Amino acid sequence: MKSPVSDLAPSDGEEGSDRTPLLQRSPQAETGDRPNPGIKPASPESPELAAPACCSARYNLAFLSFFGFFVLYSLRVNLSVALVDMVDSNTTAKDNRTSYECAEHSAPIKVLHNQTGKKYQWDAETQGWILGSFFYGYIITQIPGGYVASKSGGKLLLGFGILGTAVFTLFTPLAADFGVGALVALRALEGLGEGVTFPAMHAMWSSWAPPLERSKLLSISYAGAQLGTVVSLPLSGIICYYMDWTYVFYFFGIVGIIWFILWICLVSDTPETHKTISPYEKEYILSSLKNQLSSQKSVPWIPMLKSLPLWSIVVAHFSYNWTFYTLLTLLPTYMKEVLRFNIQENGFLSAVPYLGCWLCMILSGQAADNLRARWNFSTLWVRRVFSLIGMIGPAVFLVAAGFIGCDYSLAVAFLTISTTLGGFCSSGFSINHLDIAPSYAGILLGITNTFATIPGMIGPIIARSLTPENTIGEWKTVFCIAAAINVFGAIFFTLFAKGEVQNWAVSDHRGHRN
């Protein structure tokens, strides 16, 4: 039966390209005998069969990787909060003083703030280099990480990437005592470890995610990053407030080591090597991907780098990350020095936007796959629409946040809505690598994330240079620049993106539509 809305979702010349046949019915089912247990129809109107999601190996991978990215972002962002407590307030007052445009409004402190943690004489510029140093390591391992994962699998690469970051995090207090240079070098080493994680995960999903489940599985997997931010920001604030900042790094470092042990024991690179996967699920995954993967031994670098759909993802990824990283690293500073929340409130309120983003990622992943599988919307249409909502929506509310002055409630609300809507991108350009070249998804993500890391290196520095007095007007400029970059990226992706496997990405150069 034809979907009543199929005419609303033109396939843009890629008919059949995002309708890869899944596991077909068994002969017994066709002759009326009892079908294989544990396999259910993929949709009420389709004869395709799908292995159940409950307790499946692919969803177990999604949830374990969810907690992996939870740990990853906890390790990444905890310094943003801890740094506020590590620095002597008398030092920061000389260079980047608190704005008094907004009145003091924090609730009276009932419990004395613990002051036993060591304080450092780091000015605002030094703090910017400390926060930005992570990305100097992070940018180096993106493409190598994707290449290694495509050749040897992503399990060990992802696992040891997070383990290395966790171990280095444990040494953060010691590095801070040695001086700024040691701390910058340590953070760069953490970036080297984290740089391989996203390309490695994308490479694993190229072997694990059936085409019509990509949005669901990847949104679950990467939503851990947002929840890690949600938990890490307020928890870091609580630890700093009642204990001291050193315990922030000890706690999250130990959690990372525990996750690594679980990951190594329970995960496999591919369905073929998984020890407990059911035969039905294995056949379902392999048959759904059989026409999408390439058998080429060499990477087609030249055609890949000439691909306009790839560069549309690069531009969108760069644009989105400009806003994301600016807020990720400087939102605690904005909450403290402009809106004048204390460190305990700061951690909670800085986390609220990412809670919304986490929920949006989970729900949008479900919606995107339902639009494709049940309502016959093309992959390209879904990726375009979700990217437009996830980039232009945040731009509108980010600009609005700069124009409401010291209205604390509206400021938090607009920043929350802006970050929440960004969650739609997880089912937009963020997973388009798997649509256009599943065999090289890890490498493609390495390429796009290399460019998308640049905003993390220069965005906070530019934002700090534009806010020497931390006034509302200065931050309005920061927000407007980020919004303009977001809108440009959304338009570019909409014009040049594709939703089908590209000819250069398959060994016979015919694409998977044949």
Closest CA to 500 of 211, 195, 131: 211
Model pLDDT, residue 370: 92
Q: Tell me: the pLDDT tens digits for 472-489? A: 888 889 999 999 999 999
Q: Tell me: the pLDDT tens digits for 407-418? A: 778 888 888 899
Using an 8 Å Cβ cutoff, are 329 and 226 in contact?
A: no
b/e per residue, 284-297, with b = 16+ CB within 10 A? Answer: bbbbbbebbbbeee
Least confident of 261-265, 341-345, 400-404, 454-458: 341-345
Model pLDDT, residue 1: 42
Q: Tell me: the pLDDT tens digits for 55-66? A: 789 999 999 999
Model pLDDT, residue 509: 45
Across the range 382-395, mean pLDDT stands at 96
Across the range 165-171, mean pLDDT stands at 95
pLDDT band at 34 (very low <50, low <70, confident <90, very high): very low
Q: How far apart are CA 387 and CA 42, in angstroms?
A: 26
Q: pTM surpassing 0.85?
A: no
Least confident of 22-36, 185-199, 213-227: 22-36
**Chain mean pLDDT for the chain:** 82
Helices (H), 243-278: 246-266
Model pLDDT, residue 458: 84
Across the range 112-124, mean pLDDT stands at 74
Using an 8 Å Cβ cutoff, are 260 and 159 in contact?
A: yes
Q: Which residues pair with 120 in a beta bridge?
A: 87
- Angle subtended at Cα 488 by Cα 483 and Cα 493, rounded to the nearest 5 degrees: 125
Q: Tell me: the pLDDT tens digits for 263-317? A: 999 999 999 999 999 999 999 999 888 876 666 668 899 999 999 999 999 999 9
Across the range 72-93, mean pLDDT stands at 80
More confident residue, 370 or 506: 370
* pLDDT exceeds cutoff 70 at 398: yes
Contact residues for 306 (Cβ-Cβ < 8 A; gap 6+):
none
Q: Three-state DSSP class for 446?
A: helix
Paired tokens of 164 = 């290395």
- Angle subtended at Cα 504 by Cα 315 and Cα 156, rounded to the nearest 5 degrees: 75
* pLDDT exceeds cutoff 90 at 38: no
Model pLDDT, residue 175: 94
CA-CA distances (angstroms) from residue 468 to 31, 95, 171, 355, 461? 76, 8, 32, 30, 11
At which residue do the structure tokens 């591919």 appear? 270
Contact residues for 357 (Cβ-Cβ < 8 A; gap 6+):
226, 419, 420, 422, 423
Q: How far apart are CA 163 and CA 72, in angstroms?
A: 9
Q: Which residues pair with 87 in a beta bridge?
A: 120
Using an 8 Å Cβ cutoff, are 195 and 137 in contact?
A: yes
Q: Which of 22-26, 35-39, 330-334 has the highest mean pLDDT?
A: 330-334
Model pLDDT, residue 115: 65
Paired tokens of 436 = 């256009």
Model pLDDT, residue 289: 85
Model pLDDT, residue 47: 33
Q: Tell me: the pLDDT tens digits for 178-189? A: 999 999 999 999
pLDDT band at 13 (very low <50, low <70, confident <90, very high): very low
Paired tokens of 26 = 């068994």
Sign of CA dihedral 367, 36, 63, 499: negative
Across the range 423-442, mean pLDDT stands at 93
Using an 8 Å Cβ cutoff, are 407 and 488 in contact?
A: no
Model pLDDT, residue 80: 80
* pLDDT exceeds cutoff 50 at 223: yes
The secondary element (H helix, E strand) that includes residue 143 is helix 142-152
Across the range 331-350, mean pLDDT stands at 71
Model pLDDT, residue 7: 39
The HSE-up count of residue 275 (CA atoms within 13 Å, CB side) is: 4
12 torsion bin: left (phi>0), alpha (psi -120 to 50), beta (else): left
The secondary element (H helix, E strand) that includes residue 49 is strand 49-50
* pLDDT exceeds cutoff 50 at 30: no
Q: How far apart are CA 125 and CA 479, in angstroms?
A: 20
Closest CA to 74 of 259, 265, 349, 345: 259
